[in-house]
Chain A
Amino acid sequence: MSLALSGAARTPARRWRLPGTPGQIALALGIGAFLVAFLIVPVGSVIYVAFTEKGSGTFTLVNFADFFRTDLFLRSFWNSFYVSAATVVLASVFALPLAYITTRFDFRGAVIVQTLGFLPLIMPPFVGAVSMQLLFGRNGTVNLLMMDWFGIRIPFMEGLNGVIFVQAIHYFPFILINLSAALRNIDRAMEEAAQNLGSSGIRLFRRIVLPLAMPGYIAGASLVFVKVFDDLATPLLLNVKDMLAPQAYLRVTSIGIADPMGYVIAVVLIVVSVAAMWISALALKGRDYATTQRGGGGLARRKMRGWESALAYGVVGLILLLVLAPHIGLLLLSFATIWSYSPLPDGFTLAHYGRVFGESSLYIKNTLIYATLAGGIDVVLGVAIAYLVLRTKLVGRQWLDWAAMAALAVPGVVLGIGYLRTFFGVHLPDGTPLATLWIVIVLALAIRRLPYALRACYAALQQISESLEEAAENLGATKARTVRRIVVPLMTGGILAGFVTSFATAAVELSATLMLVQSNADAPLAYGLYVFMQSAAGRGPGAALGVIAVLLVAACTLLSQYILDRNQKNRGAS
């Protein structure tokens, strides 16, 4: 035996071996090529143009010098920064009480609050912008009533205020979700230990609860900051042009894709996004504070006294009313005959819905096609990348993951500009530029939403024990067949969740599509909405389209929740 072993050891090992099966290598190369073509090259071209001299192609910082010498751009930069920071503050004001009250107290309706708190997310923010104008604008419901009663007017929606207000209402759920999760993850023993050592009340909150929940808050807040900084459609709809994303869009659409300033702005957007994410990652480093132990049950819930309870319900009710205002306004608007200079619409009609279904069913059809295709591409790529990263030893497989996730840091406007730049020069045999084809919109959507689908697939695959696959291989299944018969069926829940997330968010995406839609016939719902909302007469049908969009996304979100729940139950039962 020992002889045989030493004999085997002496046979020279193969110097060079393929790190994976040819199929795996081909798959990795294919995905790599896709990411390079539709993410890295477009974004790279944006950065390249920003740093080169127009015409000659030599390296230069002149464009950036121009940027920082132009008052408009500097003002736009600070406005964007101010709006993002102020949005974080305002969103925190909305989210903190909701998260704290529902996680820490015995609060009837905590589930309803948490659910309603998510609603704003399933509406494109620019849709809410219009109805917010009608409710909170200069001559909106609230100010008209305030004028009547108190003779004052509050500039909720004037200039940057409007952007902050709308964005905070739209994005505060990110903070709510993360903060609530963080609060729920604090083991009650953490609090009890402090009480046992003599701490109570505000001091206990400040010294134990708040620091432990901080990572969750930072994660949510940085996400809100980045999203608001990159958002294009909301400021545009509120007619605020001196912010960075609108400036980039306006430069490219009015002056042309050859103008370098649009690219410089795009680079600034990327840098700020990456910096914000990096800073939050730094702040979170080594602070995984999930402290729930076995048998632990999150923060200790306390019963509220009478007046505390009344106050809590009052605060929660007010916040919910505020954050649901866009939905309420939109619904009213979609049924309104005329709504102008009056607290409520003059009359109600179904005509807008008739018009939308008559004329604009094209938008809905396009949206369904684009979002389905984008979602499909995302889950296929997501499953493949997750599999390559987690289950193979291919060199550089991690790079696929990183590249795909990098899309998170690329604002929609930047991707749009990059696509125009890259694919306008590519012509089909009949001479039409590639950038004008609707499939480019699908690709942009797919790249934008790939990180969401990828994380869902990754998590699903991580939960599958490798021994399940080894058992299949042991019984004679090849790698490919194992994936098809064991891995993919077990990942179904995660794949569906990933698909629905991609689908739902792609359906209301506007930043990238606004740049890429070349003809009305190719336009998706979000674009149609945007066009409608430009004119006073289009607001009614626009609102109807908005309601349809909200219902579409809501249905998808519910579906994904249902699928996830059922999947979890099935897993738990087995």
Chain B
Amino acid sequence: MTATAQKMARPTAAPEAALHTEALDVRIEGINLSYGSNHVLKDIDLDIHAGEFFAFLGPSGCGKTTLLRLIAGFNTADTGTVSVGGRDIGRLPPWKRDVGLVFQSYALWPHMNVAQNVAFGLEERGVARAEIRRRVGAALEIVGLSHLADRRPSQLSGGQQQRVALARTVVIEPKVLLLDEPLSNLDAKMRVQVRRELRDLQQRLGLTTIFVTHDQEEANTVCDRIAVMSDGIVQQVGTPMELYERPANLFVANFLGTANVVEGVVCGSGTARVFETTGGWRLPVASGAEVPAGARLVFRPQVARIVEGQAGVPALMGEVVRREFLGSLVRYGVASGGQEITVDEPFRPGQGQHEIGARVAVEVPMSAVLWLA
């Protein structure tokens, strides 16, 4: 595996020069899709830039795979259009779309060897024999599998099968590359390596790529931008950091990373606004903060601080009930007003820790909190 990884990283080879891929933008407008009474995709609008590595991220059943298959032509929208490079492809059958899809199961044909699998799409396009040979060779070299061209898919490891599926797709020089949960059938160690290779390959080919996943870490590490989906709705689109820092709603805040959500009501008005938590604690609302109706107080575990004794700033009082050592940081659970607040503190050797049962105050920096409905 390391040998192939080195081969892939070799700067002089540049086999991708043999493939003429171009970066095109993908526009999804007003897509609705229902299966009977089940409304699977609701008014989807997405603008994916040319050459972008874009992710559809969401829990299972959120409609992300349905949307991906719709782009490939395996689902038909009730309303809306999908265009690639300014051309509407919504009416085309799957085999005329030139949209390369790498299947979650890889879907390698067991009755063909690796080279035959990769050559298939070119043969279907009536490409000349010599050209097929040249491009299959280049595609296999790109994924570092030239030495396995004669193998059957069943003789390959999961990671190798995935490379074949990838080579089979990019060899047709697709307009867009679609990846359906490409890492889900690999073991944890391979995942980290393959996702880096995917990013690397995408950069070298410059292909607009859409990546479907339910794993936020995968999406965060490889993608330029992410569309977070839930219940058939695009909840928010943004770069990984934007989504983490400024989630648009509670769903995004909870789905990306860990968030503390404190219930309560805002009392008073103007500069004298106070958030009264259900647990009975009163926290001043920062002036100028926009608090939508029914909003909850949301903050990340690492922005709060645990203080034993009297707190200097507004705080939630409670008792330490949980302590998890995570290496670089220590994660505390503080029971306060009927809920457990999570607080991360950096671990520094020699520094004392808070003990279970200690009465503490959780200082909440009110200028750094989010108000989300």
Binding site for B on A (CB under 8 A): 187, 189-190, 192-200, 203-204, 207-208, 211-212, 214, 286-287, 289, 291, 293, 296
Contact = CB atoms under 8 A, between A and B. Distances in A.
B161 interface: no
Interface residues of B, number: 29
A286 B152 CA distance: 10
19 contacts: A190-B109, A192-B107, A193-B103, A193-B108, A193-B109, A193-B168, A196-B95, A196-B101, A196-B169, A197-B124, A197-B172, A198-B96, A199-B121, A199-B124, A200-B95, A207-B120, A212-B111, A289-B110, A289-B111
B72 interface: yes
B357 to A, nearest CB: 41
Contacts of B109: 190, 193-194, 208, 211-212
B279 interface: no
A197 B177 CA distance: 12
B72 A200 contact: no
Given A192-B74, A196-B99, A200-B95, 17 more contacts: A192-B103, A192-B107, A193-B101, A193-B107, A194-B95, A194-B109, A194-B124, A197-B168, A197-B169, A198-B124, A199-B95, A200-B94, A204-B95, A211-B111, A212-B110, A287-B111, A289-B110
Nearest to B105: A293
A320 to B, nearest CB: 32
B10 interface: no
Contacts of A190: 107, 109
Interface of B: 72-74, 93-101, 103-105, 107-111, 120-121, 124-125, 152, 154, 168-169, 172
A197 B120 contact: yes
Contacts of B104: 189
Contacts of B120: 194, 197, 199, 207
Contacts of A207: 120
Contacts of B169: 196-197
B137 to A, nearest CB: 18
Given A198-B121, A198-B172, A296-B105, A291 B110 contact: yes
A302 to B, nearest CB: 12
B121 A189 contact: no
A199 B98 CA distance: 11
A198 B95 contact: yes
B93 A200 contact: yes
Contact of A198 (B74, B103, B105, B125): B125
Nearest first, the 7 A-B pairs at minimum CB distance are A197-B121, A189-B107, A193-B107, A195-B94, A293-B105, A198-B124, A200-B95
A194 B116 CA distance: 12
A480 to B, nearest CB: 42
A212 B103 CA distance: 18
A196 B105 contact: no
A196 B111 contact: no
Nearest to A204: B95
Nearest to A189: B107
Interface centre among A195, A199, A203, A289 (most CB of B within 10 A): A195
